[in-house]
Every structure is written in C-alpha cells, then in structure tokens.
Structure 1
C-alpha cells in the first residue's frame, strides 16, 4: 500500500521526537532501524490513520530495551 504525504510527514515527526528522546543513547542508524521495522509491520493494514502513533509506540519500546 502506498504511503501518502500526510503519513510520511507524521513518520518524519516521529523520527524527530525519537532522535530527541534517544539521541544521547542510540545512534541515528538504530533509531531509523527501529522506525523502519515498526513501520514495516503495518504495511498491509488498510486503515492508515493511526499508523504513525503505533509506529512511535513500537519504536520507543524497541529503543528502550537494552539501554
């Protein structure tokens, strides 16, 4: 399913928030990987409205492990 501009912008905002929150303990590559993995898990979902929120929650959980 194609990602619309609104979702792309929301995911960029998620990336900025996570970089602010985890930048001191995680590399930019680790943050990007967590976002990419979380986002990929919602690829086949037809309702896209809440995907950015769910991606942020899933990525935060992944980044919060093993600190």
Structure 2
C-alpha cells in the first residue's frame, strides 16, 4: 500500500468517526465537506505522516463551532 493510499484510508476513517460523533448535530454530507476542507488545508505540506491526526483535530474544531 502506498503512502497516498494509506493517507486516504486514514482520512476515510476520520470522516466515519466524525459522522458518528456528530450525527446528532451535522449531516453526513456536512461532515464529509468539513473533513475535505480540513484535508485540503494540508495539501501542500511535505511531511504527510501526521496529516490524518491534524485533519481530525481541525475538522472537530470546525464542527464544534456554533453556526452563524
């Protein structure tokens, strides 16, 4: 498995965990959108090892913010 595939699998896992954690307040589509935005924020980072952890933290933060 390549590093890119491993990262993609990890990001899918992040999305699944967050869909469950935020199912009462956010739709699955909203969670996927937030995870994609969080992941895109790290697209230019050369070191990829911790990207899934950083994406999950950023996405959780975004999902916990009250809607405007």
Which is bigger in relative contact order (C-alpha 8 A, separation at least 6)? 1
TM-score, normalised with respect to structure 2: 0.90
Q: Alignment partner of 2:39: what SS?
A: helix
Q: How many angstroms apart in 2 are the aligned matches of 1:29 and 1:12?
A: 13
Q: How many angstroms apart in 2 are the aligned matches of 1:41 and 1:12?
A: 16
Q: How many angstroms apart in 1 are the aligned matches of 2:60 and 2:51?
A: 14
The CA deviation string for residues 6-59 of structure 1, in whole angstroms up to 9 with x for no partner, is 001100110111011001110111101110110000000000000000000000
TM-score, normalised with respect to structure 1: 0.91
Gaps of 5+ in 2: none
Q: Alignment partner of 2:54: what SS?
A: helix
Q: Which residue is 1:15 aligned to?
A: 15
Q: How many angstroms apart in 1 are the aligned matches of 2:15 and 2:47?
A: 21
Structure 1 segments of 4+ aligned residues over 3 angstroms from their partners: none
The aligned runs of 1:1-67 (5 Å cut-off) are 4-66=4-66
Aligned length: 65
